Chains A and B, each alone.
Chain A
């Protein structure tokens, strides 16, 4: 399963224990280059300098929710930044939330508790280049 060596991953999660859990899960999947952010604003600044290949983002954060963060990301002037793949990690499996996230062009939606296998599957999909329409 160690297929994510050197992949740049940004983890956005406001709860330190959950950040530690996701980071350890990523380490078990290889040796990715992991950065972390505890809120949406810090995440936007980190993306501009770190250029992650994929972002793992919690939804239930304050003051900016995960969905608001993705909305802001998709509205950025820089095309590369705008197109950054995002996988949502959340405890909220409500259909309305999933539908709202889908409209924002996310690459995956995982409901906690997540497993390393589910995370690996979603990461592979998110890292596969999309065919342009």
Chain B
């Protein structure tokens, strides 16, 4: 039964659908005016953000559509991340997409991903989850391949599409098996069957589902599409896809595991621990060798997926509460700092040498980039530090030897990642400007986004930590 409450609960999704249609209409009727399309998209993402913020502030919560759709603090928090990162992506895409002549279509794709991702974090039904993931993913294939002026874009999009489709079928197969075992797609019913000794079919379903998610989250050994897709994609697409939908995917994975199979935690934390260790090392070791900043950030995003998976491994014993908050903190921190780092590529260039001597030509951008890099390493008091702090604490509380190993690997990887992040800082500050470096190109909107994100990175400890504590205290409703 659809009541007023349902409408309120669906406000973020309804708003994004509305603006999605409006932006598309601009393409059809308003002479493809990039300015109007961008304005509407900016307004749309802000409205989604505001509606989620208001729902969160008023403490709105409830279940809808026969408990298949839930609104709680946890879901709203991730809707904020999705809408916030989409806002910056739209700003970053404004000028570039105007240049392609297809601004309405590109911006519409961003809004469809927003719609899918905001739905996703509220889903409590296996097939609803699958549909929402696809709703968020299918437009993203098009986003990656959107830059027709570069061959890499099409290549990256193709690779992303093929692996993505395989991942989706693996995921779907896993979900179907879980459905077959438990006879219901509702997470609460699944929880009743995933107890005691798991049947082989249930384990198979679990493993396939996790593998499907590992593809989507670019966790090793399922990460191969990541560098090509992020290198080929338009910057705004790489920046957005690596943080917004990814945060939502982490959120829904957390929900499935905690609500759907809490009794089987011993099984899936072990899987997560394995994934986390492999992913961290693969990401960092590969990133060390990169000379192209896009590829470096792509591998760095693999490594950071590994860090977040380490929090998943700590979802046991006394570590659960901290681990949940660690996921909340880390996804927000990563969204802010990685978004900033990607956007700067548009201003400066994608070769590490392009950053030489940037401090002398455009100090503001250079300082921001230095902040993002230091935050990605995890230097206090910047954003990334808190994420790692919570993961380490959660791991220590979990009381499992395997998780201690994971935490140890995380510390080792943090030191391992210093050279490539600080390589950029070194180039910016210690090297002389080369003739090509010159100045960062002046796109006002991108620059504005970068500065805002730099400030957020710096004040993260005062702003997001209390928010995440509030959300974590309200728990998964």
Are these two chains actual partners, yes or no?
A: no
